[in-house]
């Protein structure tokens, strides 16, 4: 029961630390309430909490994990280039330990997009309107922990009708001398009729110990606006991710999410929660993960269809190797008023190794009667017929399998609309699959 003791000590140690450093940090007045809510929810969730049943995070929060305010070391352009793949023809925002670095960034035109440190955005009207307002944010343990402890992050607001042609690449760099917890916090607001693509990735800078990144992003897609968010989880081996993205869509908006988890990190948990607040929205969610070694990769998504005539479409695929564990949980709620909903969900997995484990759970709750919903999940091997076809043409079995696994992946990467991103992701996927 040693882990239980440690778990209690993290939760128990928290209030004192919070009082000393965080309670009066910055403009956000809700920290104390968030801390209390986190503790009321039971603190760090154990596997007894339904949503954390398959992923035990308790061991990551040992009492030596630092939760003090992070320092922000000086980072050079050379260090940035060594740590991250820069996308050509893109605006670029670089953060070190959650803090925006002007000297490494190339901001989008101010006439189209407001970009600032979240810690300096307290008086922005959009922050007052939307910050920490996402539906159900109170139910999420780690979102509450983040609200209590966040130090900084990004505030991005795209002005009404602004069409931002080039993608905005956001690179999060993390540096720490010992095991620690980071709580970056971001707010993205895309106003009426505006359009933007945001490509995020994270990497460690010379980490010698594991760090946990408990990131929360709230994203608002206003009427007729379009937002595409890419999570390229391709970085480093000392990073553990707990990501939460809470998205709200207004009438006739379009939201695309791409989550690629192709990483050396031993633990990734993504929570994508999308709330369709008004009519005639369109949503696409694409995910692809490769889990190898003893990695745990866990994707939880939820879509709340609250209003009529909304369409959501979700396709997640995974490849499981070695002794890895994959989790997919896709919730779709169709509320009583959400007539004429179209909601589709697919989760396909190739479990290559007999020692790998996969948990997949579609959860559809439908309270309206005039809806089209479908879901499917598969756990399997590559198709024997396809394998035979390739071998019958002289292609060796190992190579044929490799081709088929790549084909399975590239079906998803083909949905990526930014060519440089697609190429980058396919390269990394190939590397992992060839290894």
Partner 1 sequence: MLDIKNLHAAVEGNAILKGINLTVKPGEVHAIMGPNGSGKSSLASVLAGRESYEVTDGSVDFLGKDLLDMSPEVRAREGLFLAFQYPVEIPGVSNINFLKTAVNEIRAYHGEPPMQAKAFLDMLKSKQKLMEFDANLMNRSLNEGFSGGEKKRNDIFQMAMLEPKLAIMDETDSGLDIDALRIVSAGVNKLRSKDNAFVIITHYQRLLEYIVPDFVHVLYNGRIVKSGTKELALELEEKGYDWLKEDIRLEEPVQ
Select the residue interacting with partner 1 from 121, 221, 291, 400 (CB under 8 A).
Answer: 400
What is the DSSP annotation of 245-308? EEEEE-TT-EEEEEEEE--S-SEEEEEEEEEE-SSS-EEEEEEEEEE-TT-EEEEEEEEEE-SS
Q: Which stretch binds partner 1 (CB under 8 A): 187-195, 197-205, 348-356, 397-405?
A: 397-405
In the complex, least distance from residue 397 CB atom to partner 1, rounded to whole angstroms:
7
Q: Which stretch binds partner 1 (CB under 8 A): 16-24, 105-113, 183-191, 398-406?
A: 398-406
Q: How far apart are CA 210 and CA 11, in angstroms?
A: 19
Q: Which is nearer to partner 1, 254 or 390 (CB)?
A: 390
Length of the chain: 435
Binding flag, residue 386, partner 1 (CB under 8 A) = yes
- Give the residue from 157, 150, 168, 102 showing the smallest Cα distance to 127: 157
Binding flag, residue 406, partner 1 (CB under 8 A) = yes
In the complex, least distance from residue 417 CB atom to partner 1, rounded to whole angstroms:
18
Instruction: Provide CB contacts within 8 A for 141, sequence distance 6+.
Output: 38, 41, 42, 43, 44, 45, 49
- Give the residue from 272, 271, 270, 263 showing the smallest Cα distance to 239: 263
Select the residue interacting with partner 1 from 73, 391, 422, 430 (CB under 8 A).
Answer: 391
By the 8 A CB rule, do 35 and 67 touch?
no
SS3 391: helix
Mark 412-431 with x for binding to partner 1 (rule: CB under 8 A) and - for no binding: --x-----------------
Q: How far apart are CA 138 and CA 428, in angstroms?
A: 36
- Give the residue from 83, 74, 88 showing the smallest Cα distance to 202: 83
With CB under 8 A as the rule, give the number of residues binding partner 1.
25
Select the residue interacting with partner 1 from 411, 420, 422, 430 (CB under 8 A).
Answer: 411
Binding flag, residue 168, partner 1 (CB under 8 A) = no
In the complex, least distance from residue 300 CB atom to partner 1, rounded to whole angstroms:
27
Binding flag, residue 376, partner 1 (CB under 8 A) = no
> Would you tell me how many other CB atoms lie within 10 Å of the CB of residue 395?
15
Q: Which is nearer to partner 1, 24 or 392 (CB)?
A: 392
In the complex, least distance from residue 402 CB atom to partner 1, rounded to whole angstroms:
10
Binding flag, residue 3, partner 1 (CB under 8 A) = no
Select the residue interacting with partner 1 from 21, 395, 420, 430 (CB under 8 A).
Answer: 395
Binding flag, residue 315, partner 1 (CB under 8 A) = no
Q: How far apart are CA 250 and CA 117, in angstroms?
A: 25
Q: Which is nearer to partner 1, 223 or 411 (CB)?
A: 411
Binding flag, residue 380, partner 1 (CB under 8 A) = no
Binding flag, residue 434, partner 1 (CB under 8 A) = no
Give the count of alpha carbons within 13 A of 83, CB side only.
Answer: 24
Return residues touching partner 1 (CB under 8 A): 383-386, 388-397, 399-400, 403-404, 406-411, 414
């Amino acid at each position: 029961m040693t882990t239980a003791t440690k778990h209690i000590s993290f939760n128990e140690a928290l209030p004192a630390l919070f009082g000393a450093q965080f309670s009066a940090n910055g403009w956000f007045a809700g920290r104390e309430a968030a801390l209390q809510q986190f503790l009321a929810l039971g603190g760090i969730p154990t596997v007894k909490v339904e949503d954390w049943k398959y992923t035990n995070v308790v061991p990551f929060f040992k009492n030596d994990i630092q939760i003090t305010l992070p320092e922000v070391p000086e980072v050079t352009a050379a260090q940035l280039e060594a740590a991250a793949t820069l996308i050509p023809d893109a605006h670029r925002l670089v953060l070190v330990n959650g803090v925006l670095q002007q000297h490494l960034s190339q901001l989008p035109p101010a006439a189209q997009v407001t970009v600032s440190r979240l810690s300096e955005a307290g008086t922005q009207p959009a922050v007052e309107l939307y910050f920490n307002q996402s539906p159900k944010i109170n139910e999420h343990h780690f979102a509450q922990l983040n609200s209590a402890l966040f130090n900084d992050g990004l505030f991005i607001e795209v002005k009404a009708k602004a069409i931002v042609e080039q993608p905005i690449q956001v690179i999060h760099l993390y540096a720490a001398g010992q095991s620690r917890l980071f709580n970056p916090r971001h707010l993205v607001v895309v106003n009426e009729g505006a359009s933007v693509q945001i490509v995020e990735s994270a990497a460690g800078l010379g980490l010698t110990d594991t760090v946990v990144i408990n990131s929360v992003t709230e994203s608002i897609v206003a009427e007729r606006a379009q937002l595409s968010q890419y999570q390229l989880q391709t970085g480093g081996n000392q990073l553990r991710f707990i990501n939460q993205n809470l998205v709200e869509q207004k009438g006739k908006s379009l939201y695309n999410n791409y989550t690629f988890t192709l990483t050396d990190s031993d633990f990734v948990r993504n929570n994508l929660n999308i709330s369709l607040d008004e009519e005639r929205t369109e949503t696409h969610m694409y995910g692809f993960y490769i889990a190898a070694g003893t990695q745990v990769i866990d994707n939880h998504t939820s879509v709340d269809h609250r209003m009529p005539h909304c369409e959501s479409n979700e396709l997640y695929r995974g490849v499981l190797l070695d002794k890895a564990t994959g989790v997919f949980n896709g919730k779709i709620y169709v509320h009583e008023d959400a007539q004429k909903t179209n909601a589709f969900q697919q989760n396909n997995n190739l479990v290559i190794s007999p020692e790998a484990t996969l948990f997949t759970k579609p959860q559809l709750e439908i309270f309206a009667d005039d809806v089209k919903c479908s879901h499917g999940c598969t756990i399997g091997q590559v198709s024997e017929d396809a394998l035979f076809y390739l071998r019958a043409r002289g292609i060796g079995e190992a190579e044929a399998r490799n081709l088929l696994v790549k084909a399975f992946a590239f079906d998803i990467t083909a949905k990526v609309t930014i060519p440089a991103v697609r190429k980058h992701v396919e390269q990394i996927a190939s590397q992992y699959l060839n290894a």
